[in-house]
Structure 1
């Protein structure tokens, strides 16, 4: 049955933004922020449903990578707008950094723990076991994090560095496309109804939903981004904080909800796998695209960061290293999830530069302890970056099937 009601609700939520965008009507910055922010959220839900439903026709690791990529399109649109405008208006560069770092920390510090805790509650377990093929994602995330350390050390994001990050993302996506699907994908919510449609109807519908939601997001990105900055002044709130947290929360919410639905259905590994893939996309394609957008907008080939942005990157990097240390053993304990949420929450109460650097140090100390505890997993994780022969793939498929069967029992 066609999911008319939820799609109609999203359309109704997006219509005011479309009318305001293409008419001579005007609204206050706060009203504009709410109207276009609502449209972004509505389009993000449609995008998430369509991206999940496409797994019916594209399965395996590539589907997870594409799902994660499409799900963060709203965030890309807003962030790259700030980066592009910063080419001629240097003051806007801080907002590109704010949105990127905020979304990264929100995803890992809130999204990962949320999904894990929901999955563990649904399965009445204390530890979520991750599949063996997660090793490669962990290794890629580790590689990207090592490269990212040079951003705060150098105080800038060079365009050549951005190209390198994008190249890593493309290679990762190509490798993921070669992975074989192991079982028929499961669907939840609206995506389940889309997946049940006849093949031709489903493909036309999903493609249309992709296009329509993408258009709504693209036409909403500029007014939403500008209204966030202006609303900060009107409301007496730091515009930097609005851009850093409100915009990512609006764009990430649908992805979090879809992942939580997976977790409630007992598919915790699939749910956290999608969010890990999103983290890879953010740390590669998004960060890599920022200096390119800055350059295309009239800026230099070296996007310079101020002291606050360097501090934000440092905190994001340390949190990412902690996340890697937690999942490198392919086990996500409820205590680790709770600790991530607690440390994520601390940054809202710790605002001083020195204190936030101490928080970064705490991340790193805990990460070192976890890495030492899971030191036997470090080399296997790094080796997962090597191309595999067909015999290895077949052998690991058998091992993975045995692992999943034992985990299910």
Structure 2
């Protein structure tokens, strides 16, 4: 066996084989028809989904050889969020014939959105901070996209596309708490925004990526072999995630019921925790590899997907299931949606400067956690008010960045010197150089 063949097996075949075997045991259990005990299902299905997420992360990095980084991140986010779509659309569809299921569709949607911002974004920043400290202690190259004092992750200028679309979608969705329903017409408009988003990120310029490990092995293949491998990994990983999302969520819910947890809370929090697992894992992988900006970018793209495509498809699924032209929301769901919408606006306001700092990550998490400690109606309105006040204050302080952010989705390109994006990018790389050489 040649040295090249041996190296390829060590760097590509063996890692893919390991994640394939881990995923296969979950698939085999699913196809066997056996209903495992809740704990067994959580472990086996959960490990399989995590393995699929690892493979997705590798393929997503390697895909940057052929497509723009923004499109690669967008595709990763779409595939990673497939479990959330599968679970939420199931509730919306069945609500068409069983109105009692409507509350679960809305609960799952609001829970997943708030989990993404309130827990996902701060956790990625925490991982990035720990990786940064470890690299500094061992005198290794640090992530070029982090700044030290105060600690923050700097995002590229093209992330203004996601921020601008989130602002527009948030304004459109204000009709939901005002009318107490999600109308099909609003769904069509949100889906159109999502399709436009996919087109927009597909037109971005492709840069030469810096690949290491398995992605480097995939990227080093011939053009046909590389593209075939990436497409196969995307397809197989998506199939595994879709196949195992339902039994994983079912195992979590069964385990929660055994522990005496209310069904509504299970649907709102435990099921999203299961369905959000792939994108969390992918983002964490990038943060651990010294690519924190890409990790935050994946969760930002996932938020765009949820706030446009997911919300937009709910009333359509409800109509296809035999319901009317709008998915109704009761008083509790209106409160939950207002809480989610105001949190979204605060998340956008925090990132207007293209910097996600530790202090704002802490604020996001504290406000998110407060709703678990104080669970009454008044508490939800108070936290919503705090979200709204902080968002308005940040928008006012950074008003000069509002128009560039709103028009970013509709510009042909975002020049690096158009705003502070270029300064942020150069500053972060200078900080990284000060701490050590940039990884190549």
2:79 maps to which residue? 70
Question: Is 2:121 the counterpart of 1:97?
Answer: no
**Aligned with residue 199 of structure 1, among 223, 228, 238:** 223
Question: Is 2:312 the counterpart of 1:288?
Answer: yes
CA contact (8 A) 2:68 2:204 kept: no
2:428 maps to which residue? 407
1:144 maps to which residue? 169
Distance 1:189 1:241 in 2: 40
CA contact (8 A) 2:119 2:365 kept: yes
2:235 maps to which residue? 211
Query: What is the total number of aligned residue pairs between the two structures?
Result: 405
CA contact (8 A) 2:82 2:242 kept: no
**Aligned with residue 354 of structure 1, among 370, 378, 384:** 378
2:183 maps to which residue? 158
Supply the RMSD in Å over aligned alpha carbons. Answer: 2.8
- How do 1:28-107 residues align onto structure 2 when only pairs under 5 Å count? 28=37, 31-32=40-41, 35-107=44-116
CA contact (8 A) 1:164 1:288 kept: yes
CA contact (8 A) 2:183 2:315 kept: yes
CA contact (8 A) 1:65 1:277 kept: yes
Please report how far the alpha carbon of residue 148 of structure 1 lies from its aligned counterpart in structure 2 after TM superposition: 1.5
SS of residue in 2 equivalent to 1:157: strand
CA contact (8 A) 2:121 2:299 kept: yes
Question: Is 2:117 the counterpart of 1:108?
Answer: yes
SS of residue in 1 equivalent to 2:372: coil
Q: Deviations over 1:310-355 (max 9, x none)?
A: 2221111111111111111222222111111111111111211111
Instruction: Indicate the larger mover: 18-27 or 203-212.
Output: 18-27
- How do 1:222-371 residues align onto structure 2 when only pairs under 5 Å count? 222-371=246-395
Structure 2 gaps of 5+ residues are 1-7, 133-145, 431-440
Distance 1:136 1:109 in 2: 21
Please report how far the alpha carbon of residue 75 of structure 1 lies from its aligned counterpart in structure 2 after TM superposition: 1.9
SS of residue in 1 equivalent to 2:157: coil
Instruction: Indicate the larger mover: 364-373 or 38-47.
Output: 38-47
Cα 1:387/1:356, change in 2 over 3 Å: same
Cα 1:87/1:46, change in 2 over 3 Å: farther
SS of residue in 2 equivalent to 1:56: coil
Please report how far the alpha carbon of residue 295 of structure 1 lies from its aligned counterpart in structure 2 after TM superposition: 1.9
Q: Deviations over 1:356-404 (max 9, x none)?
A: 111111111111221221122122222324434xxx7567589966653
Distance 2:97 2:266 in 1: 22
Please report how far the alpha carbon of residue 272 of structure 1 lies from its aligned counterpart in structure 2 after TM superposition: 1.9
CA contact (8 A) 1:40 1:251 kept: no
Distance 2:313 2:262 in 1: 26
Cα 1:304/1:128, change in 2 over 3 Å: same
Please report how far the alpha carbon of residue 203 of structure 1 lies from its aligned counterpart in structure 2 after TM superposition: 2.1
Cα 1:185/1:96, change in 2 over 3 Å: farther
Distance 1:305 1:104 in 2: 17
SS of residue in 2 equivalent to 1:332: strand
SS of residue in 2 equivalent to 1:128: strand
Cα 1:406/1:163, change in 2 over 3 Å: same
Cα 1:52/1:347, change in 2 over 3 Å: farther
Question: Is 2:194 the counterpart of 1:169?
Answer: yes
